[in-house]
C-alpha cells in the first residue's frame, strides 16, 4: 500500500508489487496444503508453486533495480533486462528440478551474482539510483542469504532434536528473514522509483 502509484508510470510499479506478493502467496499455499491426501503428486506441485514464488521475487524484484541502475543507458539497460530474465528462466528450471535444499539454494546463485554486479556499478559511480537504495539492497540480499543458510543447515533443531518442532526452527527463522528481506527490497525500490521519475540524465 506504500507504493507511490500516483508518481509512477509504466510497468515498474506493477512488477515490484508482484515481486513482493508472489512469494507470500506461493509459500502460504505450499505450507497450507503440503500434507494433502493427494500424496507426492500434490506435494511436488505445491513445492513447484513455492519455488516459482521465490523465483518471482528474485526475477521481478531485480528488474526495477537494473532499470534504475542503467536509467541513462537505454541499450545496455534493455540488454541487461533481457539477459536477467533469461537467466532467471534457467534458475527456476534448476530450482524446481533440484534434488535437495542445497541444490535449490544454489539455483539462485547466478541471479545473486548478476544483481551484485549492478550493486558494484552503483558503488563505483558507474550506475545510477537513489543514494540510500544500495545499502537497502545489500541488507536485503544479506538477510535472504542468511535465511537460506539457516534453512539448509537445520539450525537450531539439529542441536536439540524435537525441541523446535513447533516453534523457532530453521524453516520458521528463514521465513521471518525472507519477509524482512522483502521489506528492504520494497524500501529500496520505492526510493529508486521515486528518484527515477524526477531524475534527468546529463548529456556527456
Does the model's pTM come out above 0.85?
A: yes
The 10 Å CB-count burial string (b at 16+, else e) for 37-68 is eeeeeeeeebbbbbbbbbbbbbbbbbbbbbbb
Note the pLDDT tens digit of each residue in 31-75: 999 888 889 999 889 988 888 888 899 999 999 999 999 999 999
Question: Average pLDDT for residues 1-21, to the nearest whole number?
Answer: 81
204: pLDDT strictly greater than 70: no
Mean pLDDT computed over every residue of the chain? 91
Q: Which DSSP category does 201 fall into?
A: P
Question: How high is the pLDDT of residue 104?
Answer: 81
pLDDT, average across residues 78-85? 96
pLDDT grade for 105, boundaries at 50, 70 and 90: confident
Residue 138 has pLDDT above 90, yes or no: yes
Which residue would you say has higher pLDDT here, 110 or 170?
170
CA distances from 175 to 27, 54, 73 (A): 9, 11, 36
Query: Cβ of 103: how many Cβ atoms within 10 Å?
Result: 13
Span 13-33, mean pLDDT?
A: 91
Average of pLDDT values for 112-125? 96
Q: Is the pLDDT of residue 196 over 70?
A: yes
Predicted confidence at residue 176, as pLDDT, reads: 96
As a whole number, mean pLDDT of residues 122-127 equals 96
**Range with the largest mean pLDDT of 29-38, 48-57, 105-114, 121-130:** 121-130
How confident is the model at residue 21, as a pLDDT? 93
Residue 171 annotated as part of some ligand binding site: yes
Q: Rounded to whole angstroms, how far apart are CA atoms 196 and 67? A: 9
- Residue 102 has a pLDDT of 83
Amino acid at each position: 500500500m506504500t507504493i507511490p502509484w500516483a508518481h509512477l508510470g509504466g510497468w515498474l510499479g506493477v512488477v515490484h508489487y508482484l515481486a513482493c506478493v508472489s512469494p507470500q502467496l506461493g509459500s502460504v499455499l505450499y505450507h497450507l496444503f503440503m500434507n494433502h491426501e493427494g500424496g507426492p503428486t500434490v506435494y511436488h506441485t505445491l513445492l513447484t508453486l513455492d519455488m516459482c514464488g521465490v523465483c518471482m521475487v528474485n526475477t521481478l524484484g531485480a528488474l526495477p533495480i537494473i532499470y534504475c541502475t542503467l536509467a541513462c543507458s537505454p541499450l545496455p539497460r534493455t540488454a541487461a533486462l533481457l539477459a536477467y530474465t533469461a537467466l532467471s528462466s534457467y534458475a527456476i528450471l534448476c530450482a524446481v528440478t533440484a534434488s535437495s535444499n542445497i541444490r535449490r539454494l544454489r539455483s539462485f546463485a547466478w541471479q545473486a551474482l548478476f544483481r551484485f554486479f549492478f550493486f558494484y556499478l552503483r558503488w563505483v559511480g558507474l550506475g545510477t539510483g537513489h543514494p540510500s537504495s544500495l545499502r537497502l539492497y545489500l541488507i536485503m540480499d544479506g538477510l535472504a542469504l542468511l535465511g537460506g543458510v539457516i534453512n539448509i543447515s537445520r539450525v537450531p533443531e539439529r542441536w536439540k532434536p524435537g525441541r523446535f518442532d513447533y516453534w523457532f526452527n530453521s524453516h520458521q527463522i528463514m521465513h521471518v528473514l525472507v519477509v524482512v528481506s522483502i521489506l528492504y527490497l520494497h524500501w529500496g525500490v520505492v526510493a529508486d522509483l521515486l528518484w527515477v521519475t524526477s531524475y534527468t540524465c546529463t548529456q556527456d
